[in-house]
Amino acid sequence: MNIRKNLLVWLTILHVALLAPLALASSGPAEAEAEPEKGPHRGRMLRDGEFAVELSIFEIGVPPEFRVWVTHEGKAVAPKDVKLNVKLTRLGNVVDDINFYAQGAFLRGDMEIYEPHSFQVSVFASYQGKRFKWHYDNFEGRTTIETAVAEAMEIQTGIAGGATLHQTIPLYGKLFYPPGASRTVTARFNGVITKSHITLGDSVKKGQVLYTVESNESLRPYQVTAPMKGRLTAVFAYEGEQANGQPLLEITDTSTLAAQLQVFPKDYAKVAIGAPVTLSVSGSDETLSGEVTYLAPGITDNQARTLWVSIQNVPESLTAGSFAKGLVEVATIDVELAVKKTGLQGFRDFTVVYAKVGEEYEVRMLELGREDDTWIEVLGGLEPGTEYVTENSYILKADIEKSGASHDH
């Protein structure tokens, strides 16, 4: 495992090292282009001779939209005299076609500029019979990682779609042997135990001979046999002793463990008989499954109610008295769109996943809903069928933060 981790670290360093010269080259002679000219409205200035367009993303009190101010020879141009169109080409060749209409002293775009604000921008304007056009990249939250490098870094992806959420609550308690798991054995007739065929802790089968007893009445020997399979958990009588109706031993079926878990008042109403339960036991790596079979009507001194959980396929290594944690399912919800929580990262003020198109990765700002331990519902910001990063997304976050891509308003 350490070798694998070291390899991943080395590959990450190598990836950064390979990209560094490109980053330096782009920030050298073109340093002036790294920070585009801003206009009086904090928008990007686009110039062609004496004709200039200031393109700004405005989002105060409204969803993000384009607003444009136009000047010619340094003087404001009436918005109605300019025809303007902007095309935004997003990752995956999705094109937003935006037209403009005059409003007051500016031109206003006719559609929302939804997140992420990451696209190739093409601006087309016409004024006094002349046509103008500009093209530039406005990328944020985007990076490129070669397939071989992504595979070596174990960057895994999945397809966004529907999921079933299994909401659970954690409960704590102990394992125990349920009623009927233990039985005591007595002799049919009074007499002397002449032979003991077992010792404490032995495993026995149903019908196996446990004792030989000589009857006090007939003076003939008879055998005491096991009424069930299990393990000898207590021995009360030995050779030479009288078997006069008292218990001789106890047999416990150790394959039928259950759990007693404590439910506190705020969760009383959430737990139902038959609810699935996943159990983990202290000192064991085993994950067990079962269901709620009984909810005690009374409460304990700490105001908890006790529920019983039957356990399926009990390993021989487990025993009564072990501490247990149970995740009890309290709701099952089908949602139309969900992503794995392991893919979530923070970006600006958003929670995001990274969409993958070819060898390019880009943030998708999510509106989130209900969740369970594995999945979280997506209410907006991601299209169904999108391939997104599910594992090791932190590598992409680090790569994007290193590049320092800005949010151009």
Query: 202-216 pLDDT, tens per residue?
Result: 999 999 999 999 999
What is the longest distance spanned by two Cα atoms in the chain? 129
pLDDT of residue 30: 38
Which of 379, 392, 288, 338 shows the shortest CA–CA distance to 166? 338
Residue type, 292: V
- Closest CA relative to residue 167, chosen from 401, 377, 406, 2: 377
Of the ranges 77-81, 249-253, 315-319, which one carries the lowest mean pLDDT score?
A: 315-319
> Residue 217's pLDDT is what?
93
The yes-or-no verdict on residue 145 having pLDDT over 90 is yes
The topology (CATH level 3) of 143-168+334-403 is 2.40.420
Q: Does domain 40-138 fall into CATH 2.60.40.3340?
A: yes
Residue found by looking up tokens 């559609």 in the block:
111
Residue 322: helix, strand or coil by DSSP?
coil
Output phi, psi for 144, to 5 deg: -120, 130
CATH of domain 182-252: 2.40.50.100
Res. 16: pLDDT tops 80: no
Looking at residue 112, its pLDDT comes to 96
- Tens digits of per-residue pLDDT, 347-404? 999 999 999 999 999 999 999 999 999 999 999 999 999 999 999 999 999 999 887 6
The residue-averaged pLDDT of 247-251 equals 97
Contact 174, 259 (CB under 8 A): yes
pLDDT of residue 286: 85
| pLDDT at site 8 | 52
Does residue 12 surpass a pLDDT of 60?
no
pLDDT band at 20 (very low <50, low <70, confident <90, very high): very low
Per-residue confidence (pLDDT) for residue 118, from 0 to 100: 95
Q: pLDDT-derived band of residue 317, with 50, 70 and 90 as boundaries?
A: confident
Confidence of residue 24 (pLDDT cuts 50, 70, 90): very low
Domain coordinates of the chain in residue numbers? 40-138, 143-168+334-403, 170-177+256-329, 182-252
pTM higher than 0.75, yes or no?
no
Per-residue pLDDT reduced to its tens digit, 279-303? 999 988 889 999 999 999 888 888 9
**The pLDDT value given to residue 402:** 84
Report the alpha-carbon distance of residue 370 to residue 368 in Å, rounded. Answer: 7
Cα–Cα nearest to 109, from 97, 95, 92, 120: 97
Structure tokens at 190: 């009074």
Distance between CA atoms of residues 34 and 44, nearest Å: 12
Q: How many CB atoms lie within 10 A of CB 45?
A: 16
The residue type of 276 is: P
In contact, 108 and 101? CB cutoff 8 Å = yes
Q: Do 82 and 70 meet the contact criterion of CB atoms below 8 Å apart?
A: yes
Lowest mean per-residue pLDDT among 12-21, 160-169, 304-313: 12-21
Give the CATH number of domain 170-177+256-329: 2.40.30.170
